Amino acid sequence: MHHVNDRIKALKKDYFIYIICCIIINDFLNMLSIIILI
């Protein structure tokens, strides 16, 4: 049971990192499009 819990924690951590990366990439693309438009 403890082993499964550790795996779930690891998955949540990976998912969190994935979401942060998506947000950073999204912000970066928005910034690029604004620079290109100007």
User: What are 32's two structure tokens?
Assistant: 């690029």
pLDDT band at 15 (very low <50, low <70, confident <90, very high): very high
Q: Which residue has the higher pLDDT, 19 or 38?
A: 19
Mean pLDDT of 19-25: 97
Q: Which pLDDT belongs to residue 12? A: 92
| pLDDT at position 1 over 90 | no
Using the predicted structure, report yes or no on whether residue 22 has a pLDDT greater than 70. yes
pTM of this structure = 0.61
Closest C-alpha to 13, from 21, 1, 3: 21
Query: How many domains, in total, are found in the chain?
Result: 1
Q: Domain range holding 15?
A: 1-38
Q: What is the pLDDT of residue 4?
A: 87
Alpha-carbon dihedral of residues 28, 31, 35, 38, nearest 10 degrees? 160
